Amino acid sequence: MADIIKLLPDHVANQIAAGEVVQRPASVVKELLENAIDSGATIIKLIIKDGGKALIQVVDDGSGMSETDARLSFERHATSKISTAQDLFNLRTKGFRGEALASIAAIAHVDMQTRMDNAEVGTHLKIEGSKIVSQEVIATAKGTSIAVKNLFFNIPARRNFLKSNQVESRHITDEFQRVALVHPNIEFHYYNNGSELFNLPKTKYRQRISNVFGNKMGDRLVPVNEETEVVKISGFVCKPEFAKKSRGEQFFFANNRYIKSPYLHHAVVAAFEGLIKSDLYPGYFLFLDVDPASIDINIHPTKTEVKFDDENTMYAIIRSTIKHSLGQFNVAPVLDFEHDPNLDTPYAYKEKGAVLPKVTIDASFNPFQETVESTSPKSRYQKTSTKGWENLYEGLNAELGTDNFSSIEIESDTEVQGTFYSDTESQEHVGTTFQLRRKYIVSTIKSGMLVVNQNRAHERVLFEKFLTEITVKEGVSQQLLFPLELTFSKQELTILKEIKESLVNVGFAFENLEEETVKVTGVPLIISESGIGMVLDRLIADYKEGFDGNSISQAELLAKALSKNLAVKTGEILDKDSQLGLVNDLFGCKEPSLSPSQKMTYTIISEGDIEKKFN
């Protein structure tokens, strides 16, 4: 039998490896930015076009590369970071495997210009699909410029799986923020389709956070600092009153590397227990400095998932540190007996002793005597005769219209719904509704009993209403007497601009969408003024997580997000008219049986099913 196992060609192996390293344009941005930081750069520029599909360019003023290094950098497992396996346990750099540039070059057109500080000329290298097209001498600035064009040009299937330009740009912005936040000592510039999104000068950690997420973010931060034998923790957490319904500004960095850790995230949430509601998420920017030997950052190709040697201790330290910081800066509630100055002894009486009051008694006073004469300045006391006391109640029966209290009705505070009805009562309740467990609406119908999930039913009603308003542009807006000012980060503003037209069709009205502080001048009739900020925050978060790029999906997603946030929740009490109105509105929908999330909205229990229970 002939041999069937053979070695793959290098370009095929590189394309397979690229699937692990390069998942989307944001993966390329992450690798190139990390390489620029490892080169010792002080100024880094990121330039993208069409969501990174057409161009991703990173320019730095780092150490640069020689002619030989420039060519070797695109070979697989070629790296300057490690030389032995032991080096993997003492990593302080970003990249180390030597796969990034080789994987990127296998699926894109790469153009690199680089020059070392002590060299007079640099190197210009062009690669297409792992093949070196040209390498020549060029006059260029110190540092390195890498331009990645036409990503996945030779793998059409992978390119078709990419989302819209807006979605891919959003992922790139996320990666940019993760790198920029942990390196405030480096100046960053970010350009998207010719416009500058971020201009971040060298600064401190707190100011860098404000530069990225808006100027008002600095006032929301509480510093966190703790140093132990296991870990050194620094950074900030957001005050409890600024917790959000969605996962927003939540960042963990270990040894200057962004990481994801649901376990440590739970430690932060546990520290806020009792300070925020269970459905809210706190914001935090925490920097962990640990011994490189105690952390494994090579368990995942993206290097964002890590493994700590002693996670239980890390959990306890983070939780207690945050609790201490919240209490230290008077953010957490404490037992405080406030001093009332009104209870102080007046200065003129401080040296004086207490004087007992004098009580005088008239020993000769007798209330049972008909008249009492007193030498004291009192009026004469005359005992009133009790004769004729019955006359006090004359005419009372005539006013009441009866001679007893049998007609007086006591008004009950709440109307109690009975569980069982008599034969006559059952006739009266046919076709009416009542609320069960503040979750279901139960109604009698000809065939038996209808049970409606109030939350899912209202979501379906609102979903079809908002979807119609977005597409037909007939939303009704209520104008606010006093415009509401809300603060958003640059990324949130970008999303608001994308969905502005749809929001206006629903009933929203905005001013100053070009600035961090946005004025909301009108809202849909169903939204209360106090809930505008929460609804918009949740709407932006849902859109960010679920939007896949086309206009039809955008309308559906916004309608789904609005209905989810504005629908009646489980636990809310509905009056009779609201219950009946919701049931009628549900069966007026095109698809009454399913909620927008494709869950059942109601069920019917037939009379036969009920009778079977008694057989």
- Tens digit of pLDDT for each residue in 62-73? 999 999 888 888
In a domain, 352, yes or no: no
pLDDT tens figures, 94-106: 655 557 888 899 8
Q: Is the pLDDT of residue 1 over 80?
A: no
Residue 341 burial by Cβ neighbours in a 10 Å radius (0-12, 13-18, 19+): exposed
Q: Are 534 and 243 in contact (CB under 8 A)?
A: no
- Say yes or no: 480 and 557 in one domain: yes
Q: Which of 141, 166, 200 is the last residue of a domain?
A: 200
What tokens were used for 101?
A: 């540039």
Q: Is the pLDDT of residue 226 over 80?
A: yes
125 and 240 belong to one structural domain: no
Residues 25 and 57 in one domain: yes
Selected residue with higher pLDDT from 142 and 366: 142
> DSSP code of 216?
G
pLDDT (mean) for 481-493 = 83
CATH number at residue 272: 3.30.230.10
Per-residue confidence at 421, pLDDT binned at 50, 70, 90? very low
| 82, 73, 93, 201: CA torsion to nearest 10 | 160
Please name the residues in contact with 593: beta carbons below 8 A apart, sequence gap of 6 or more: 600, 601, 602
Do 89 and 172 sit in the same domain of this protein?
Answer: yes
Q: How confident is the model at residue 477 (pLDDT cuts 50, 70, 90)?
A: confident
Buried b (16+ CB within 10 A) or exposed e, 20-42: ebbbbbbbbbbbbbbbbbbbebe
pLDDT class of 423 with cuts at 50, 70, 90: very low
pLDDT at 199 exceeding the cut of 90? yes
Q: What is the pLDDT of residue 129?
A: 86
For the ranges 153-157, 161-165, 249-253, 331-335, the one whose mean pLDDT is highest: 249-253
- CATH number for the domain including 532? 3.30.1370.100
Taking residues 289-307, report their average pLDDT: 75
DSSP string, 314-381: HHHHHHHHHHHHHHHTT-S--------GGGSPPGGGTTPPP-PPP----TT--TTSSEE--SSS-PPE
Q: How many whole angstroms separate alpha carbon 561 and alpha carbon 587?
A: 21
Count of CB atoms situated within 10 Å of the CB of 295: 21
Residues 6+ apart with CB under 8 A from 207: 184, 218
Nearest of 37, 18, 38, 293 to residue 159 by alpha carbon: 18
Percent of the chain predicted with pLDDT > 90: 33
Q: Of 328, 356, 380, which marks where a domain is finished?
A: 328
Q: Pick from 176, 200, 224: which residue ends a domain? A: 200
Look at residue 47 and tell me whether its pLDDT is greater than 60: yes
Kindly state whether residue 444 falls inside one of the protein's structural domains.
yes
Decide which of 227 and 472 is more confident. 227
What pLDDT, on the 0 to 100 scale, is given for residue 304?
74
Residue 432: strand, helix, or coil: coil
pLDDT at 123 over 70: yes
Residue 383 has what pLDDT?
A: 52
Predicted local confidence at residue 57, as pLDDT: 96
Which of 144-158, 185-199, 231-245, 556-570 is predicted with the least confidence, judged by mean pLDDT? 556-570
Contact status, residue 100 vs residue 81, Cβ threshold 8 Å: no
Taking each continuous run of H as one helix and of E as one strand, the counts in the chain are 17, 24
What tokens were used for 442?
Answer: 């139960």
Cα(123)–Cα(114) distance, integer angstroms: 5
| 506, 441: one domain | yes
Q: Quick one: pLDDT at residue 388?
A: 61
The arithmetic mean of pLDDT across residues 492-516, rounded, is: 83
Lowest mean pLDDT across 180-189, 218-227, 406-415, 495-504: 406-415
Could you give the C-alpha distances from 366 to 9, 359, 361, 384, in angstroms and in order?
124, 18, 12, 14
Q: Which residue has the higher pLDDT, 306 or 71?
A: 71
| Number of domains the chain is built from | 3
Q: Is residue 401 part of a domain?
A: no
State the virtual CA torsion across 389, 390, 393, 394 in degrees, nearest 10. -120
Indicate the average pLDDT of the chain: 81
Looking at residue 411, what DSSP letter applies? P
What's the rounded Cα separation, in Å, for the pair 475 and 432? 32
Residue 473 falls inside a structural domain: yes
Domain contains 514: yes
The phi and psi torsions of 510 (rounded to 5 degrees) equal -125, 160
Q: Are 133 and 227 in a shared domain?
A: no
Per-residue pLDDT reduced to its tens digit, 429-462: 335 788 998 899 999 888 888 999 999 999 999 9
Q: What's the pLDDT band for 417 if we cut at 50, 70, 90?
A: very low
Tell whether 224 and 179 lie within a shared domain: no
Domain that holds residue 592: 421-615
pLDDT in tens, 361-405: 877 877 777 654 444 444 454 555 555 656 655 555 555 554 454
Whether 306 shows a pLDDT value over 70: the answer reads yes
Residue 8 has what pLDDT? Answer: 77
Regarding beta strands 250-254 and 257-259, do their DSSP bridges make them parallel or antiparallel, or are they unpaired?
antiparallel
Q: What tokens were used for 463? A: 């979903």
CA 357 distance to own-chain centroid: 66
114 and 24 housed in the same domain: yes
Q: Please check whether residues 35 and 164 belong to one and the same domain.
A: yes
Q: pLDDT band at residue 185, thresholds of 50, 70 and 90? A: very high
**What tens digit of pLDDT does each residue of 9-40 get?**
776 776 666 666 788 999 999 999 999 998 99
CATH no. for residue 86?
Answer: 3.30.565.10
End-to-end CA separation in angstroms for the chain: 72
Mean pLDDT along residues 572-585: 90
Q: Residue 491's pLDDT band (boundaries 50, 70, 90)? A: confident
pLDDT > 60? residue 410: no
pLDDT over 70 percentage in the chain: 79
> 316 or 78: whose pLDDT is higher?
316
Read off the tokens for 220.
Answer: 């929301």
Residue-wise pLDDT for 215-224, tens only, equals 888 888 999 9
Tens digit of pLDDT for each residue in 327-342? 887 666 555 555 566 6
pLDDT of residue 420: 36
**Whole-number pLDDT of residue 411:** 45
Judge whether residue 238 has pLDDT over 90: yes
Q: Does residue 203 surpass a pLDDT of 90? A: yes
Distances (CA, A) of 114 to 69, 134, 394, 539: 10, 14, 112, 44
Q: Is the dihedral of CA 30, 31, 37, 41 positive or negative?
A: negative
Same domain, 429 and 538: yes
Claim to verify: residue 213 and residue 179 sit in the same structural domain: no
Residues 461, 589, single domain; the answer is yes
Q: Is residue 266 predicted with pLDDT exceeding 70? A: yes
Please compute the mean of the pLDDT values over residues 563-587 and round it to a whole number: 89
pLDDT band at 551 (very low <50, low <70, confident <90, very high): very low
- Assigned token pair, 207: 């100011």
Element (H, E) at 551: helix 551-566
Is there a domain that residue 3 lies in?
A: no
